[in-house]
A = this chain, B = another copy of it.
Amino acid sequence: MKRIAVLTSGGDAPGMNAAIRSIVRIGFSRNIEVIGAHAGFRGLLEKNFNPLLPRDVSGLLERGGTILFTSRTDGFEEEEMQEKAIKNLRSEHIDGLIVIGGNGSQSGSLALSVKGFPTIGVASTIDNDLWGTDYTIGFDTAVNNAIQAIDKIRDTATSHARSFIIEVMGRDKGFIALDSGIATGADIILIPEVKFDVDKIIKNIEEGMKKKKMHHLIVCAEGAIRARELEQIIRSRLDIEIRISVLGYIQRGGSPTRFDRIIATLFSERALTELVRGESGKLVGIKDNQIVLIPLGDAVMKKKSIDRSLYKIVEEVSV
């Protein structure tokens, strides 16, 4: 394998640039030409390819976003598109592809590999929702972003003895909510994986008020309940000063952390090694502190569960 392409797809995640950098530089060290495809799978369809050299990726470790740009994968589930992509790759004498992205994007990787084009995925999404890997590139930074924001909100909560509902990202999964909630001392954490009972929340707050707790902090994943909705429910049942904050896009950007820079480097090295070795249809992730290869079909189709022991701890520390 002499020439490979790399692309970033789906929601941008901090550390994607670090991954691109490693692929380009390690590729260069191993005499493999690395071509960047522009804006995800769309770059394959539009033949928007650019060769990448070590100097092109200088200074990238610390930068959020992706210099290759990204896009949604809408439409790439059609076989026609996939075949066009492969044709375009082949016409440029590209022998393999590395896809840096999350769940939706890795479905695209799976499709290409099934159609015979050597493709390896690198697990990267702030949502951390790929099965088979404990972490994905971008998750650690996103949670740290959320934590820094919630720490600031806590200053106001404490100063005013005012409760807050903070809505974090996570349509289907509560990974960000769970980690950011525990790390900021949330009294209540609501995630899509665990059904919640409004009565219990109300009771929890009432009991806290009896214990002279000055304020309550609720962290909810957007997929569990929207902050606005929960606010109205609580206001309708309790006489309490409560405010909401929807963290939104500030979770997604920024300079990646140690964890994300390191796993971006390790995932990339492994992806390149495996692709050249002849592997295809696999996702590179980390499991039990080891870099692992996960069949793309499993990574994309199976449901990843949250750590219930982590969830249970919340009740005990919130006293």
Shortest A294–chain B CB gap in Å is: 15
Is B65 a contact of A156 with CB atoms below 8 Å?
yes
- Point out the residue from B160, B247, B257, B317 that lies within 8 Å of A69, measured CB to CB: B160
Shortest A253–chain B CB gap in Å is: 3
Of A134, A183, A248, A313, most B-chain CB atoms within 10 Å? A183
Say what secondary structure dominates the interface of chain A. helix
Q: A25–B317 Cα gap in the complex (Å)? A: 5
Shortest A145–chain B CB gap in Å is: 7
A155 at the interface (CB under 8 A from B): yes
The tally of residues in A whose CB lies under 8 Å from a CB in B reads 79
Q: CB-CB < 8 A to A255: which residues of B? A: 148, 151
Q: CB-CB < 8 A to A11: which residues of B? A: 156
Of A16, A248, A310, most B-chain CB atoms within 10 Å? A248
Q: Quick one: which of A112-156 are within 8 Å of B by CB?
A: 134, 140, 143-145, 147-149, 151-156
Is B319 a contact of A29 with CB atoms below 8 Å?
yes
0 or 1 for each of A32-69: is its CB under 8 Å from B? (1 = yes): 00000001000000000000001000010111111001
Is B25 a contact of A152 with CB atoms below 8 Å?
no
- Point out the residue from B14, B156, B179, B250 that lies within 8 Å of A153, measured CB to CB: B250
Shortest A310–chain B CB gap in Å is: 7
Given A26-B316, A29-B316, A145-B152, 7 further pairs, Cβ under 8 A: A62-B154, A65-B156, A69-B159, A70-B160, A182-B265, A245-B250, A246-B246
Q: Which 10 pairs from chain A and chain B are nearest by CB?
A: A152-B253, A155-B253, A65-B155, A288-B288, A64-B155, A12-B159, A183-B261, A65-B159, A29-B316, A152-B254
